C-alpha cells in the first residue's frame, strides 16, 4: 500500500515537471514574437518614410527603436506656424526635425 502511494506520488511529480517544461517552452516561444502590435508594421513605416522623402531612398536602416508618443495638435489655424523643435524637443535628432520642419512649412503653399 505504501509502495503504491510512493509510485503514484512519483508519477504525479513527473507529470508536474513535464507540465512545467511545456510552460517554460511556451513562454520562450511567445517571447520570441514582437512585444508590441506595431512591430509588424516596421517595414511598411520604412517604405512610407522612403516614399514621402522623410528618409533618403538609398538610406540603409541599421536599427529600429521603440517610437515615442507626442501630443496631438488639432485645429491649428492656417496662418499659425508649427514649430516642430518645440513639439519634439530633444526626443528626435535635429536633422530629422529640420527635414520635417521644411516639409511642414511647405504645406498649403503653391
Domain total of the chain: 3
Q: Is the pTM of this model over 0.75?
A: no
> How far is CA 48 from each of CA 42, 45, 65, 99, rounded to the nearest angstrom?
10, 5, 17, 15
Q: Are residues 63 and 81 in the same domain?
A: no
Full domain range(s) for residue 63: 36-67
C-alpha gyration radius of the chain: 27
Q: Are residues 29 and 5 in the same domain?
A: yes
Query: Per residue of the chain (110 residues), what is the pLDDT tens digit?
Result: 556 655 566 677 788 788 887 888 877 777 776 555 556 667 787 888 888 877 787 877 777 776 666 667 777 777 888 888 888 877 788 888 898 888 888 877 76
Long-range interactions of 100-108: CB distance < 8 A, separation 24+: 100/54, 103/52, 103/53, 103/54, 105/81, 108/78
Cα(76)–Cα(84) distance, integer angstroms: 13
Cα(64)–Cα(61) distance, integer angstroms: 7
Amino acid at each position: 500500500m505504501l509502495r503504491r502511494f510512493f509510485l503514484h506520488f512519483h508519477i504525479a511529480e513527473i507529470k508536474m515537471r513535464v507540465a512545467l517544461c511545456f510552460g517554460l517552452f511556451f513562454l520562450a516561444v511567445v517571447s520570441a514574437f514582437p512585444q508590441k502590435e506595431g512591430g509588424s508594421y516596421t517595414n511598411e513605416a520604412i517604405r512610407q518614410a522612403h516614399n514621402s522623402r522623410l528618409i533618403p531612398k538609398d538610406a540603409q536602416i541599421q536599427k529600429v527603436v521603440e517610437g515615442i508618443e507626442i501630443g496631438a495638435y488639432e485645429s491649428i489655424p492656417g496662418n499659425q506656424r508649427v514649430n516642430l523643435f518645440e513639439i519634439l524637443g530633444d526626443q528626435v535628432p535635429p536633422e530629422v526635425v529640420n527635414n520635417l520642419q521644411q516639409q511642414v512649412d511647405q504645406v498649403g503653399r503653391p
